[in-house]
Structure 1
Amino acid sequence: MSLEEALKIADKIVFEKTGQHLDDLQKAVLQGTLKRKRYRQIAEDFDYSESCIRGVGAELWKIISEELGEDVNKSNFRSAMERFHNSNILNFAENVSGSFNICEKERHSLDTLNSHQPNQQTPHPTQPATRHQDLDEMPELGDFYNRTTELETLTTWISEQHCRLIALTGIIGIGKTTLAVKLVQQIKDNFDYVIWRSLETSPTFAEFQADLVHLFSQSQPQNSLENRQKPLPLIKYLQKHRCLVVLDDIHHLFSSRELAGKYKPGYEEYDSFFKQIEKLSHQSCLLLIGWEQPIKLLQLKSKKIPIPILQLTGLDVASAREILRDYGLTEIDNSEKLIHLYQGNPSWLKSVATQIQELEENLIELLPDDAILLPEDLKDNLQQQSDRLSQPEKQTLSLLATKNQPISLAQLLETTQTSPSDLLNTLQSLYRRSLIEKQENLYSVPRVLREYYIESN
């Protein structure tokens, strides 16, 4: 179905319900939805606030849902239009000069006809009334390279062990969000509600809670007792329904230039909410994704409360080779060495592969063996994470970057005036950010990071 056809059908549905055709703003929201744009992108395109665009969208989904008799939202709008287009009701309506004014008698006759054809599908296949998915902020999956083990781990934690709070962390570009998108696509039908929110704009907890409470209250039937009552706290909705809530970019809740996981002033209410998620009885799951996780979350784990944390590492060699193959670099020599140098990081490998592809396919062979390529977009990504580091972390990283071999804690203490306690806290923070490696009590900085920090100092 083309964009124009879907808009035409939506216009007829809205006109049948309200007596008015779609206005320009409603058309803009539907066009953006059909082009898989987020509300934020639609708002920017048409110079409106995101809250205004969300409100227009919510009203449209409500009108269309009531008219079609199924739960229509931003995620399934196109498929709902296609189902309606192929249904007997649409065929009948088109024969009445496109008026869409089907009287109740004719509706009854059509229903009676269908009731005598048991093998024929009903005109409007509907989702269960309790199935609601608000995934307009979830990115498209894009290229996905083998993460079978990680997917199985997350699925087991959520579907079999019923973990309430899960953290997915790792360095920038490692593929956290992509993995989570794939996970949601596989398990979303097991939940009454599936919600994806990005915290990139750093909403306060009050704003975040109001957003989700509004979503829950809007999804209730208008005449339901729950809808007539004063809105409940967010945790109550998560107890009443089985929900999967994904919070991406959680590091935006934490202070820059501090050790990892310290909340920004005014954002401590999230900590209380996460504790409620973990301690209270419910069947929902909250998945946190980011470069760093709350310190207090990690402290809860130390009390033998099962809070699984998956610190994502690079792709294996076979999977990483698929990236090089996608960039036409299947014949490149030393491809395995290149993969190891860039730690199997999908984003880093794509950046380097692009540079090699644009300049010369045997570029690696022309460079010294110890050369590390740092394309500008790769440096920009590393700079984002570097900007969040505290001064002690930057000093320790710079020191480690000058060492060609891993060094011990004792050697580090000999080369710095930092107290043992402060140094350990700094190393712990860097490790949680996936910026250093630790093997047998020896610490080191990966080659790409080492080259970047040497060059930037």
Structure 2
Amino acid sequence: MNIEDSIAILQPLVFAKTGKYLDTLQLNILRGAWDNQSYEEIAETHRFSAAHAKTVGANLWDLLSQVIETKINKKNVQVVLERKLKELATDGVTDVTDELPVTSETIGKINNPSTVISVTSVTSVTTSAATSVTTAAPLSEAPGGIVTLNSPFYIPRPPIEQRCYDTIRQAGSLIRIQAPRQMGKTSLMARILDYSRQEEYLTVTLNLQLASRNVFSNLERFLQWFCVIVGKSLGLPNQLAEYWDDILDSNSSTTDYFENYLLPQIHTPIVIALDDMDILFRYPDIASDFLGLLRSWYEKARYGDATTDIWKKLRLLVVHSTETILTSNTEQSPFNVGLLMELPEFTPSQVQDLVQRHGLDWDSYQIEQLMNLVGGNPYLVRKALFHIHHQEVTLEQLLPKSATKGRVYGEHLRRKLGYLQEYPELLTRLIQVATSPIPVELERVQAVKLHGMGLVQIRGKQVIPQCELYRQYFSQEDISELAISY
């Protein structure tokens, strides 16, 4: 029995015990240990720290020991798993090898969180239960909002996740995640923060949507709120009265508060994640100063002076939508420093993976049909699969023009239209693109803004609709009449 055979049998047993499958990191450590690799070798191969590998490994051996009810460690994992899994198969605990041959296809299905061999317990299973493949994913989880850490519907986009993990370990690092709305920015942010906590870093998440309106009344008010919120998240009392100097400008006082109070109080790196930065762009004066402040902190970690070590503790994670019409001075913002992560749409293989996780057995032509309609937009793809799985609509019913007015995409399209109504010229240009049988040449600024909304593809100097759904919707007669009224 090789490692892949063992994983194929092991995954449903783990799921039966915990309700989760072994994730990619756990599987990589398991494969490395099976091949007698050291934690250092495993970490180097998969580009994470040896300390993190040891922590995850220790938890993994405890988990597997509980699952197969035999003590497992890194040294004996191959011997014990081979022996124990053969015993389980022989005893009829899992008859996978009889009616569900262990092939690469079967392994893919078992490793895929959309399917599971039904196991009633680790020590007792009937043959019929062992050979029935059923949907295990919690398909009541409707698309929209963050994809939680334990959700089976998060689709990795290599090498993005690993690059972010590597970067967040770098002293004084800054990661910028940007994409149109509903492309998975906050879901990626959550995973970077989870990785940071596994590295034993402190993490602070600030969603600017939760700040009250008066926080944005002026720069000083906003920066004082920022200082207090970060301190409170670290369990530190408010010391603004001691560190805030009315003679200095607000940026200087904020820098002093971090440099001389907050950062010296901690002894591990801290990751501050700023989600929904779009809110700040509604206040261009505040945004310009604050983004310039973040940039200066990023640079302080590289000065090599007496304060550099203090600022090396700080890692920044900035998340914003490209739908936002930026008015800030990009030369003074952090948006041209650090690691930029622009989230792409899903590839056909990633859409296929998501289809399987919804318990659907589609061929490549059906994948192509869906992607022609909505592209690789994660939210739009999940929205379709959610309703199709629940038999509320079929793929064939989504393909005609009725898709633009149905309940599957109606709300999404109306929101796009509502935003564009604030920018009539952009709406007019998008209708021009949607109604044209050939690519259309637009002014560069207009093309970039529509692309930032995820509505068009840029091809050289010309643009086309991002997907058939947008072509259908924005070429409708009533939408065109609306644009004419402006």
Using structure 1 for the length normalisation, give the TM-score.
0.54
Residue 170 and residue 188 in structure 1: after superposition, are their counterparts in 2 closer, same or farther (change >3 A)?
same
Secondary structure of 1:376's partner? coil
Aligned-partner Cα distance in 2 for 1:392–1:329: 42
Aligned-partner Cα distance in 1 for 2:242–2:198: 28
Task: After TM superposition, give the deviation of residue 185 of structure 1 in Å.
Answer: 0.7
Query: Contact 2:174–2:338 at 8 Å: present in 1 too?
Result: yes
Map of 2:188 onto structure 1 = 179
Map of 2:177 onto structure 1 = 168
Aligned-partner Cα distance in 2 for 1:245–1:424: 34
How many residue pairs align between the two structures? 296
Quick one: percent identity of the two aligned structures? 15
Map of 2:157 onto structure 1 = 147
Query: Contact 2:404–2:472 at 8 Å: present in 1 too?
Result: no
Query: Contact 2:175–2:338 at 8 Å: present in 1 too?
Result: yes
Map of 1:393 onto structure 2 = 426
Q: Which of the residues 379, 392, 404 maps onto 2:437?
A: 404
Unpaired stretches in structure 1, ≥5 consecutive residues:
1-136, 256-262, 413-422
Task: After TM superposition, give the deviation of residue 196 of structure 1 in Å.
Answer: 0.8
Aligned-partner Cα distance in 1 for 2:194–2:434: 40
Map of 1:454 onto structure 2 = 475
Map of 2:448 onto structure 1 = 428
Task: After TM superposition, give the deviation of residue 317 of structure 1 in Å.
Answer: 2.1
Aligned-partner Cα distance in 2 for 1:328–1:139: 18
Aligned-partner Cα distance in 2 for 1:139–1:368: 26
Secondary structure of 1:254's partner? helix
Map of 1:94 onto structure 2 = none
Query: Contact 1:174–1:312 at 8 Å: present in 2 too?
Result: yes
Post-superposition CA distance 1:395-433 (Å, at most 9, x none): 2111111123323x3xx4xxxxxxxxxx33222322333
Query: Contact 1:157–1:163 at 8 Å: present in 2 too?
Result: no
Query: Contact 2:182–2:378 at 8 Å: present in 1 too?
Result: yes
Q: Which of the residues 192, 199, 202 maps onto 1:193?
A: 202
Q: Which AA in structure 2 matches 1:452?
A: Y
Q: Which of the residues 457, 460, 473 maps onto 1:440?
A: 460
1:345 aligns with 2:365: no
Q: Which of the residues 152, 156, 169 maps onto 2:166?
A: 156
Post-superposition CA distance 1:44-75 (Å, at most 9, x none): xxxxxxxxxxxxxxxxxxxxxxxxxxxxxxxx
Task: After TM superposition, give the deviation of residue 195 of structure 1 in Å.
Answer: 0.8
Query: Contact 1:355–1:375 at 8 Å: present in 2 too?
Result: no
Q: Superposition pairs for residues 348-359 of structure 1, below 5 Å? A: 348-359=380-391
1:254 aligns with 2:285: no
Aligned-partner Cα distance in 2 for 1:318–1:367: 21
Secondary structure of 1:196's partner? strand
Q: Superposition pairs for residues 231-310 of structure 1, below 5 Å? A: 233-236=253-256, 238-239=258-259, 240=263, 242-255=269-282, 263-264=283-284, 267-281=287-301, 282-283=311-312, 284-292=314-322, 294-296=326-328, 298-300=330-332, 306-310=337-341
Q: Which AA in structure 1 matches 2:381?
A: L
Query: Contact 1:166–1:288 at 8 Å: present in 2 too?
Result: yes
Query: Contact 2:207–2:274 at 8 Å: present in 1 too?
Result: yes
Task: After TM superposition, give the deviation of residue 352 of structure 1 in Å.
Answer: 1.4
Aligned-partner Cα distance in 2 for 1:383–1:316: 26
Residue 179 and residue 370 in structure 1: after superposition, are their counterparts in 2 closer, same or farther (change >3 A)?
same
Map of 1:80 onto structure 2 = none
Task: After TM superposition, give the deviation of residue 295 of structure 1 in Å.
Answer: 5.0
Post-superposition CA distance 1:78-134 (Å, at most 9, x none): xxxxxxxxxxxxxxxxxxxxxxxxxxxxxxxxxxxxxxxxxxxxxxxxxxxxxxxxx
Post-superposition CA distance 1:207-239 (Å, at most 9, x none): 5533442245454678x9x89944694434554
1:214 aligns with 2:246: no
Residue 381 and residue 234 in structure 1: after superposition, are their counterparts in 2 closer, same or farther (change >3 A)?
farther
Map of 1:318 onto structure 2 = 349
Task: After TM superposition, give the deviation of residue 248 of structure 1 in Å.
Answer: 1.3
Query: Contact 2:175–2:316 at 8 Å: present in 1 too?
Result: yes
Unpaired stretches in structure 2, ≥5 consecutive residues:
1-144, 246-252, 302-310, 481-486
Post-superposition CA distance 1:354-395 (Å, at most 9, x none): 33334467x334676788566435332344344334222212
Q: Which AA in structure 1 matches 2:357?
A: D
Aligned-partner Cα distance in 2 for 1:297–1:211: 23
Query: Contact 1:196–1:247 at 8 Å: present in 2 too?
Result: yes
Aligned-partner Cα distance in 2 for 1:300–1:266: 12
Query: Contact 2:227–2:254 at 8 Å: present in 1 too?
Result: yes
Query: Contact 1:201–1:252 at 8 Å: present in 2 too?
Result: no
Q: Which AA in structure 2 matches 1:291?
A: S
1:328 aligns with 2:359: yes
Secondary structure of 1:146's partner? coil
Task: After TM superposition, give the deviation of residue 245 of structure 1 in Å.
Answer: 1.2
Secondary structure of 2:197's partner? helix
Query: Contact 2:180–2:453 at 8 Å: present in 1 too?
Result: yes
Query: Contact 2:447–2:458 at 8 Å: present in 1 too?
Result: no
Aligned-partner Cα distance in 2 for 1:238–1:230: 10
